[in-house]
Structure 1
Amino acid sequence: MLVISRKNEESICFPGTGIEVRILRPGPSKVRVGIKAPPEIPVLRGELELNGGVGDAEVAGIKSVMIVDDNWNEMKLLAGYLRLKKLEVQTAESGAVAMEQLLSGATPDVVLLDMMMPEYDGAWTINQLRSSPVTEKLKVFAVSGCDPDELNVPIGPSGVDGWYPKPLNPEKLANDLQRQAFLVTT
């Protein structure tokens, strides 16, 4: 392993690969790093590779997921991981875009919904989903840095089917989807 020191906004490039790693915000316990890579090169967090990684195991019973998130980087990383798990992934950058796609015929098995978006947030989106006969029974899992109580979004038939705190552990999410995505919510 090459160990190199970098200051804020300095980068490391891998010639001929199209990969660049940039230090965005150093901190006392974490460093925020930006990674630019060609779309055909998957970028994963190290702990996913170390813990058995993505392998060939697909999430049983789940074939497609819609990720609704206004943070393009988070959405791209999660979408890439789930695609490596052999899932079809659709994305939407807001609740309004997700509703448009869903009402136009998109039929994911599960929706992963960011609850904190600047426009058409998760609470608005879940209300729209549950009030439409086309989407009212769709499995929806919230992804948020907040508690459900803070956002006044119920867990159950009139709200979301489950809640995943950020920072999201994608391996746990994939395992949980395998176990519970099609359980009937009572």
Structure 2
Amino acid sequence: MSEQKKILIIDDDSKNIFALSAVLTAKKYECVSAQSAREGLDILQAQPEIGVVLMDMMMPEMDGYEAISVMKNAGNLKQIPVIAVTAQAMTGDREKCLAAGADGYISKPVNVDELLQVLKQLNI
């Protein structure tokens, strides 16, 4: 896995970003982060080496559903996999995230082994 790509973590809670970054960095992933969907979209445009996005679905201004829609409608961003990371873990929430265009779904609190398995499935 010498060609490992960067992971962009988009979450409005800095504690979530810190926790995910710490775990992923310990597993030798390179992480960048954004505290809003708009900032995340700007980073995606500026850093084509990003290989996957961990997207919080519930954020102010632009939520994860809207951000995924923007990504999937942007020619240069639509191929980047998005993993929905959300506290919404009720029946149907996973399907709602996947229907919105997410390529994977992880509920909070994040199970690290589950997250690593999803990353592996996406070849990240």
Q: Name the TM-score class by shorter chain.
A: 0.7 to 0.9
Q: What per-residue deviation string (whole Å, max 9, x for no partner) do you get for residues 9-64 of structure 1? A: xxxxxxxxxxxxxxxxxxxxxxxxxxxxxxxxxxxxxxxxxxxxxxxxxx786432
SS of equivalent residue, structure 2 residue 47 = coil
1:155 aligns with 2:98: yes
Match of 1:113 among 49, 55, 75: 55
- Between the two proteins, what is the percent identity of the paired residues? 29
Superposed displacement of residue 175, structure 1? 2.8
1:140–1:160 Cα contact (<8 Å) kept: yes
Tell me which protein shows more helix as a share of its residues: 2
TM-score using structure 1 length: 0.59
| 2:122 aligned partner | 181
Partners of 2:22 and 2:111 lie apart in 1 by: 14
Distance 1:81 1:150, change over 3 A: closer
* Alignment: residue pair count: 123
Question: What amino acid is the match of 1:102?
Answer: L
Partners of 1:148 and 1:123 lie apart in 2 by: 17
Matches within 5 A, 1:80-159: 80-146=22-88, 147=90, 149-150=92-93, 153-155=96-98, 159=101
Question: What amino acid is the match of 2:111?
Answer: N
Q: Give the alignment's Cα RMSD to 1 decimal.
A: 2.5
| 1:55 aligned partner | none
| 1:63 aligned partner | 5
Unaligned runs of 5+ in 2: none
2:53–2:81 Cα contact (<8 Å) kept: yes
2:72–2:101 Cα contact (<8 Å) kept: yes
Structure showing greater relative contact order (alpha-carbon pairs closer than 8 Å, 6 or more residues apart): 2
Bigger CA radius of gyration:
1
Distance 1:182 1:61, change over 3 A: same
Superposed displacement of residue 148, structure 1? 8.1
Question: What amino acid is the match of 2:41?
Answer: M
Distance 1:71 1:121, change over 3 A: same
2:58–2:64 Cα contact (<8 Å) kept: yes
